[in-house]
A = this chain, B = another copy of it.
Amino acid sequence: MIMPMKMLESVLNKKVALLLKDNRTLEGSLIGYDEYMNLVLDDVEEKAQEVNRKLGVVIVRGSNVVRMVPI
């Protein structure tokens, strides 16, 4: 059994692919999170509607998160 918050801890400082509710994807290093799944990512590359952008550090509000995949 791996609690979701424990899983987030184990992914810290690793690269993840994040899918948001508006179908936006962010790839970057997970450098922070809290109990609401608010997240801080670094070195982010975002893909939204077929456009890619480099964003650096990004704070994501947890309510937008669909799923996260360590990559």
Contact = CB atoms under 8 A, between A and B. Distances in A.
A69 B43 CA distance: 11
Given A4-B40, A32-B7, A22 B57 contact: no
Interface in A15-60: 20-24, 26, 31-34, 37-40, 44, 55-60
Query: How many identical subunits does the complex contain?
Result: 7
Nearest to A4: B38
Question: Most B CB atoms within 10 A — which of A12, A32, A40, A65?
Answer: A40
B70 A66 contact: no
Contacts of A3: 32-34, 40
Interface of A: 1-8, 11-12, 20-24, 26, 31-34, 37-40, 44, 55-70
